Amino acid sequence: MNAITESNFTFKGQTNVYHGKVRDVYTLDNGLLVMVASDRISAFDHILPKGIPFKGQVLNQVATMFLDATRDIVPNWLVATPDPSVAIGLACEPVRVEMVIRGYLAGHSAREYKLGKRLLCGVVLPEGMKENDRFPEPIITPATKAEEGHDEDISREDILAKGIVPKAIYEKMEAYTRALFQRGTEMAAARGLILVDTKYEFGIRNGEVILIDEIHTPDSSRYFYKDGYEERQANGEPQKQLSKEFVRQWLIENDFQGLDGQQMPFMPDDFVQTITDRYIELYEKITGNAFVKSETSDITNRIQSNVDAYLNSL
């Protein structure tokens, strides 16, 4: 199976291109962005050496579903999806803070908790919690959005004290974050899943706060299976989950956490296939639809022609 690991498109009216860890964003002169969801996969802020077939399609189509399902909560950037791996939307000025919200002690928060920390981004964590326990109520643990390297935890107080985000805008982002997480939680529950934690990114357009990027995808979110959750917690067993965490765990087991001097491990083909299968499983579980694999014999030409046709129709 083919995977798209890099893109070098030229689109009508293109003025700039930004190659991110996973997405390549093309800026057009008409105020639109063309966002290509590649099949790259990153963990610990490093891109892994092999692409994951159909991963970009999964991310793009899951994000599209949730963006469409939350327009009544917050305006968002998405305008069209002319290709399974492409979203076209409004250019916004990004807010350099990621709004991370956690309903459960999992992932990064669990790792910090095990180290004895009881304060995360200015939020006091309750004593006596076990990994994957539910918080009394969801907590917001923001992170500064780094151009390169690691995003860093930051407290609400520091964001406001340093003037990183104006108070009125930050409070609106907080309110949107809680409402989006509640909607995502309800939609996940209807599909037998628990939305454990996720992150949202916002931008400003004409003075208005706009939801940008992806939401509720396996790259930005963690899901547990609802069935058996309580029993697994009671027995001290790992939760059955749909997220990218298993990739991080595989890297940890192979002595890589993105630290200086550590070598990225070799990725065998069967592990790549496992990742593809997990992404497709999440798509089908969260949407309730069968995943339809896109044509991958010539992904680059497929994307170019689909985007060109859309742009020429404007």
Q: Are residues 177 and 102 in the same domain?
A: yes
**pLDDT tens, position by position, 102-142:** 999 999 999 999 999 999 999 999 999 999 999 999 999 99
* Residue 227 included in any domain: yes
What's the rounded mean pLDDT across residues 280-296? Answer: 93
Comparison of pLDDT for 219 and 100, the residue scoring more: 100
Domain containing 157: what range? 96-246
How far is 314 from 310, CA to CA, in rounded Å? Answer: 7
Mean pLDDT (the chain) is: 94
We report the CATH number of the domain holding residue 21 as 3.30.200.20
* Residue 81 included in any domain: yes
**pLDDT tens, position by position, 41-71:** 999 889 999 999 999 999 999 999 999 999 9
Q: Are residues 181 and 238 in the same domain?
A: yes
Q: What is the total residue count of the chain? A: 314
Confidence band (pLDDT; 50, 70, 90) for 158?
very high
Q: Are residues 79 and 110 in the same domain?
A: no
Q: Are residues 31 and 173 in the same domain?
A: no
Q: Are residues 200 and 223 in the same domain?
A: yes
* Residue 3 included in any domain: no
DSSP at 79: E
Q: Are residues 69 and 102 in the same domain?
A: no
Whether 242 shows a pLDDT value over 90: the answer reads no
Instruction: Judge contact between 210 and 90, C-beta under 8 A.
Output: yes
Q: Are residues 211 and 126 in the same domain?
A: yes
Confidence band (pLDDT; 50, 70, 90) for 147?
low
CA-based nearest residue to 265, from 275, 252, 278: 252
CA terminus-to-terminus distance, the chain: 33
Last residue in a domain, options 193, 226, 246: 246
Give the bridge partners for 201, in sequence order.
212
Q: Are residues 133 and 234 in the same domain?
A: yes
CA-based nearest residue to 141, from 180, 171, 97: 97
* Residue 39 included in any domain: yes
Whether 149 shows a pLDDT value over 60: the answer reads no
pLDDT, position 188: 95
* Farthest-apart Cα atoms in the chain, separation: 59
* Residue 163 included in any domain: yes
How far is 137 from 210, CA to CA, in rounded Å? Answer: 25
Token look-up 């860890």 returns 21
We report the CATH number of the domain holding residue 182 as 3.30.470.20
Whether 243 shows a pLDDT value over 80: the answer reads no
pTM > 0.85:
yes
* Residue 29 included in any domain: yes
Whether 99 shows a pLDDT value over 60: the answer reads yes
Whether 79 shows a pLDDT value over 60: the answer reads yes
**pLDDT tens, position by position, 204-237:** 999 999 999 999 998 899 999 999 999 999 999 9
Q: Are residues 63 and 165 in the same domain?
A: no
Whether 288 shows a pLDDT value over 90: the answer reads yes
Q: Are residues 150 and 72 in the same domain?
A: no
* Residue 1 included in any domain: no
* Residue 255 included in any domain: no
Q: Are residues 109 and 228 in the same domain?
A: yes
What's the rounded mean pLDDT across residues 147-161? Answer: 84
Confidence band (pLDDT; 50, 70, 90) for 38?
very high
Q: Domain count of the chain?
A: 2
Strand-by-strand arrangement of the 78-83 sheet: 14-19, 23-28, 32-37, 86-90, 78-83
How, if at all, do strands 14-19 and 23-28 pair? Answer: antiparallel
Q: Are residues 89 and 127 in the same domain?
A: no
